[in-house]
Amino acid sequence: MPTDLMKTIDTLYLIDDDDTYQFIVQKTLNSLNLINSIKIFSNGKAAIDFLEATLDDIAKIPDVILLDLTMPIMDGWQFLEHYLRFRPRIGKKVVIYVVSSSIDPRDMQRAKSISEVTDYVVKPLSKSKLISMLHESLKS
């Protein structure tokens, strides 16, 4: 049973290379019944490649992205650089949360300076914080 929200998030991308974190977040999201589809990517390149390949299918474009910064192949910063290049071709609002274990104020400031980033959240991500983030994204 969903919480007091009447609408749900169609698609959420979880972009993070930590298998344990992926598992915990996915289980938590599934228990909330607020997300119709969760797509998990272990690096930014896999997510960018999928996103670019599905730009014409609005149902596969995420409503929310939970983005880690430190990943192999393509990190979160590189993902954001690529994302911003084709952002004008995305036909809907996408809420991006940087979710990182970095407490470096420079990372926080850099993320918040990117207009497409909604917020910077330091791991571990609590269930109450996750619910709060989803509530906020549903208001967008």
Q: What is the pLDDT of residues 35-80, one digit of tens each?
A: 999 999 999 999 999 999 998 888 889 999 999 999 999 999 999 9
- 77-85 long-range contacts, CB within 8 A, separation 24+: 77/110, 78/44, 78/45, 79/15, 79/44, 79/45, 79/47, 79/48, 80/114, 80/116, 80/117, 82/44, 82/48, 83/48, 83/51, 83/116, 84/114, 84/116
5 pLDDT exceeds 80?
no
Write the single-letter amino acid at 112.
Answer: K
pLDDT at 19: 94
- Please indicate, yes or no, whether the overall pTM of this predicted structure exceeds 0.85: yes
Give the 3-state secondary structure of residue 106.
helix
Radius of gyration from C-alpha coordinates of the chain: 14
Per-domain boundaries in the chain:
9-139
Options 3.30.465.10, 3.20.20.70, 3.40.640.10, 3.40.50.2300; CATH for 9-139 is: 3.40.50.2300
Cα separation, 53 vs 49, whole angstroms: 6
